[in-house]
Amino acid sequence: MNYLTIAWRNMTERPLASTLTGLSMALGVAAVIVVLVIHRVAVDQFEQDAQGYHFIVGGTGGRTELVLSTVYHLGKPLYPISYNYYRKFTDGEYAPLTDAAVPYCLGDSLVVGEYKYRVVSTTPDLFDKLKYDGLHNYEFAEGENFKRDHFFEAVIGSVVAKQGGLKLGDTFKPTHGLSGEGNKHDDFKVVGVLAPTGTANDRAVFANMEGFYLLEGHSLSSKAKTSDNTAAATTPEPGAPTIGYDNEGNEVEPLPEDRREVTSILVRAKNPMASRDMMVVINKSGTGAQAVAPAETVTQLLQNIIGPVRVVLLVLTALIVLVAAIGILVSIYNSMSERAHDIAVMRALGASRMAVQTIVLLEAILLAVLGGLAGIVLGHLMVGVANPYVERQTGVTLEMLAFDPVEIWVIPGLVLLAIVAGILPAFTAYRTDVAKALSGTR
């Protein structure tokens, strides 16, 4: 009979104590797994959403607020910039360096039951010219992209379709304002449902920007002066509809450009050098606009906020694992007096002190490893159980079988911890007096 078999039998002779000790270790490891997986998913989500274009142009203010409101549809958007500024990227001074420029107009929301979604008014170029993670084209699970001259058409994200029960041909009334408590606007018709992208766009509604401008409270006064009178403003925008249609096919005139504003612009430059040059010029121009590279802002956000939170959570879960290791120590050490006679018999039959010590250490390692393996399985099961709720509330999918590379160090770490925890009981077994134990005087 080898040492490992003897250690296993010693452990199974105390089923309740061994099970409870292993369970405490499993719960500690499960907590570590949950923290690692959720952190990995959060980081991937943030990084993936900020791909597909080089920078965002918006009003002056916080860079983080601009990225959060534009990329993740969170928080309040910054003060808008003029439509003429947007024209700089389509047929103005930045056009030769620009590959795609997609305007965003924010300020409306859609409330369906207990859920509230951000309404993003934009152009069809968002789905035709940009890739949602920098690699993949947008695809439609149903329907198609809205047409620019069909002013009151919209596309919805996959989560909106699933949670809100909206489908092709349905109409909805956006609510003025982000609180979801404002006045209801005119109807928009759903003409497309996006296939899941795993980004924040899954839980957003995308309406035709031309229709957005015609809604109550969305246009500038005819007497308002734009702050940016560029050459582009004096000519019609290339490709812009001069006449449009509502959902009944009636002709509708678009809002004049001098009464328009945009909240932000997603810009993909023709090359990284062009992107850098434009950002420098924009940020030094003092025109009330700023250019922000979302990837840099996201990296800073992860390093400054999410990273420290992860460290705190891992320290807390590591303490749980440490307490479980102390449980192993207490469990085995308390059993030493009961097993003194068995150890003495082993010694009398020829087992060395080192063999007895090794068996006790193996028992501690077995408890830690089995508890750790159960904890890894339990942790991923907990992620799978939590996924429907998290996906329903945030649109973020927690993959039950998603692994963090750090997990590979969990079992080796537990082995080292078990050896440390098993040293004291092993030393006690090492010093067992055979004569006293056999005579029953101990």
Q: How confident is the model at residue 393 (pLDDT cuts 50, 70, 90)?
A: low
DSSP 378-395: HHHHHHHHHHHHHHHHH-
Which residue did the predictor score with more confidence, 440 or 114?
114
Given a cut of 70, is residue 227 above it in pLDDT?
no
Q: Taking the alpha carbons of 292, 138, 110, 242 in that order, is the dihedral positive or negative?
A: positive
How large is the C-alpha radius of gyration of the chain? Answer: 32
Interacting residues of 6 by C-beta distance below 8 A, sequence separation 6+: 359
Q: Which of 33-37, 305-309, 373-377 has the highest mean pLDDT?
A: 373-377
Given a cut of 50, is residue 264 above it in pLDDT?
yes
| 299 occurs within a structural domain | no
Tokens of residue 284, six digits: 């030094």
End-to-end alpha carbon distance in the chain: 28
Tally of domains in the chain: 2
Q: Are residues 261 and 393 in the same domain?
A: no
Q: Are residues 164 and 136 in the same domain?
A: yes
CA angle 197/199/200 to nearest 5° reads 130
Torsion of CA 172, 116, 121, 391, to 10 degrees: -110
Q: How confident is the model at residue 231 (pLDDT cuts 50, 70, 90)?
A: very low
Residue type present at position 44: D
| 300 occurs within a structural domain | no
Strand runs labelled E in 35-97: 55-59, 81-82
| 138 occurs within a structural domain | yes
What pLDDT, on a 0 to 100 scale, did the predictor assign at position 309? Answer: 78
Q: Are residues 120 and 240 in the same domain?
A: yes
**Model pTM?**
0.74
Torsion of CA 267, 273, 274, 280, to 10 degrees: 80
Helix (H) or strand (E) holding 244: strand 244-245
| 239 occurs within a structural domain | yes
**Where a domain ends, among 236, 260, 292?**
292
pLDDT (average), residues 54-76: 89
**Which has the closest alpha carbon to 211: 128, 121, 127, 108?**
121
**Which has the closest alpha carbon to 75: 146, 4, 178?**
178
The mean pLDDT value of the chain amounts to 85
Q: Are residues 8 and 27 in the same domain?
A: yes
The whole-angstrom separation of Cα 145 and Cα 345 is 81
Q: Which of 187-196, 278-287, 320-329 has the highest mean pLDDT?
A: 187-196
| 110 occurs within a structural domain | yes
Tokens of residue 256, six digits: 């004049």
**Which has the closest alpha carbon to 261: 238, 231, 289, 242?**
289
Residue type present at position 45: Q
| 297 occurs within a structural domain | no
**Where a domain ends, among 231, 263, 292?**
292
Which residue's entry shows tokens 């018709």?
A: 189
pLDDT tens-digit series, residues 396-413: 677 788 888 888 888 998
Q: What is the domain extent for residue 358?
A: 3-46+306-439
| 336 occurs within a structural domain | yes
**Which has the closest alpha carbon to 403: 386, 385, 373, 380?**
380
Spell out the alpha helix ranges (H) of 117-171: 125-129, 158-164
355 to each of 93, 160, 321, how far by Cα in Å?
82, 64, 28
Q: Are residues 252 and 317 in the same domain?
A: no
Q: Within 13 Å and on the Cβ side, how many CA atoms surround 86? A: 25
**Where a domain ends, among 265, 292, 319?**
292
Q: Are residues 251 and 378 in the same domain?
A: no
Tokens of residue 224, six digits: 């308002």
What pLDDT, on a 0 to 100 scale, did the predictor assign at position 394? Answer: 64
Which residue did the predictor score with more confidence, 278 or 311?
278
Strand runs labelled E in 89-228: 98-112, 115-122, 140-143, 153-156, 171-172, 175-176, 188-194, 204-208
Q: Are residues 175 and 232 in the same domain?
A: yes
| 393 occurs within a structural domain | yes
Q: Which residues pair with 292 in a beta bridge?
A: 56
Residue type present at position 254: P
Q: Let me know: does 378 contact 27? Beta carbons within 8 Å.
A: yes
pLDDT tens-digit series, residues 92-122: 899 999 999 999 999 899 998 888 899 999 9
